[in-house]
Amino acid sequence: MRIALAQLDSALGEIDENVRRAREMIAEARARGAELIVFPELSLSGYSLGAVPEDIALRADDPAITAVSAGTDDIDVVLGFVEQGAVHTYNSAVYLESGRVAQVQRKTFLPTYGLFDERKHFSPGQSLSAFDTRLGRFAMVICNDAWQPTLSFIAVHDGAQLLIVPACSSLPANAEAQLQVQRDWSDLLHFHGRFLQTHVAFVNRVGSEPGMTFWGGSRAVDPWGNVLAQAPLNEPAVTVVDLDLAAARRARREMPLVKEARLGLLCRELERLTQAGGDL
């Protein structure tokens, strides 16, 4: 399977402009034979919603979303957007298959510290599951959700052959802290690939917004934790890479880490901790 990592610089609050930029990247990815293109977290809206006066929340089937993939039935698309629910608003990703909504995933862990104030704008999602597509069975794990590896563990045991990680990772001002953020993501993605024995597609945005600088560095990781392809830092790019989804089975035969998980034991112990007051 050939996928494209679309390292986009989103225009804050400018949905029509972001649709245009996304379609340009989709055209490039199609020309290079990609079957799936993944955009960053909140790619249609930009990240710093406190600086946007108007309401830019959308339903998953809004024409602005389906317009991104109009006329492109040969490539599936993952987009980040502000989702309008019945009452609440969510930081969501949508999977478009042949121009139709196949899955919507709501971010479940909303960072509200340092540069981030997502709880002011969003409600947390309440579930995460893998889903079937024409290309395989995937799961979408949005940015900070990947920092809670139990979610990715659940997705893999739900049959996900690929973890799609759209992100808006921003750098702090301190140079050493910037390097640490990039190292932490590198370690985290290696962990997901190596110890969950699955492919990972991490797509981080670039550009800047008030008080935030997004660094890119998107990459694909194989089930041994090896980096298959990596996008440049700090500039828009479409990085195309081939994934062998059958590789996960080979990795799991070599070392049966996923197979050896005792889900019943984990459920019992998690229930015990929840009853003891560990749930939020």
What are the tens digits of pLDDT across the range 12-26? 999 999 999 999 999
**CA triple 133-134-137, angle to 5 deg:** 40
**CA triple 175-143-137, angle to 5 deg:** 140
Assign 50 a pLDDT band (cuts: 50, 70, 90): confident
Assign 251 a pLDDT band (cuts: 50, 70, 90): very high
CA distance to 37, 98, 143, 224, per residue, from 6 (Å): 7, 18, 15, 23
Residue 171, SS3 per DSSP = coil
Give the model confidence (pLDDT) of 24-45 as tens digits.
Answer: 999 999 999 999 999 999 999 9
Distance of CA 247 to the CA centre of its chain: 21
Homologous superfamily of domain range 2-278 = Carbon-nitrogen hydrolase (3.60.110.10)
Assign 222 a pLDDT band (cuts: 50, 70, 90): very high
Average pLDDT in the chain: 96
**CB of 201 closer than 8 Å to CB of 3:** yes
The closest alpha carbon to 116, from 188, 186, 52, 170, belongs to 170
Which alpha helices (DSSP H) does the chain contain, by range?
15-31, 63-66, 149-157, 175-196, 247-254, 263-273
In this structure, how many other beta carbons lie within 10 angstroms of the beta carbon of residue 261? 14
Assign 114 a pLDDT band (cuts: 50, 70, 90): confident
**CA triple 138-194-30, angle to 5 deg:** 40
Give the model confidence (pLDDT) of 167-207 as tens digits.
Answer: 999 998 888 999 999 999 999 999 999 999 999 999 999 99
Per-residue pLDDT, averaged over 122-130, amounts to: 97
Domain ranges in the chain are: 2-278
Is the pLDDT confidence value at 53 over 90? no
pTM for the full model?
A: 0.97
Burial category of 147 from C-beta neighbours within 10 Å (exposed 0-12, middle 13-18, buried 19 and up): middle
Which pLDDT does position 202 carry in this prediction?
99
Which pLDDT does position 175 carry in this prediction?
86
Provide the percentage of residues in the chain whose pLDDT is more than 70. Answer: 100
> Under 8 Å CB-to-CB from 124, ≥6 apart: which residues?
106, 107, 108, 109, 110
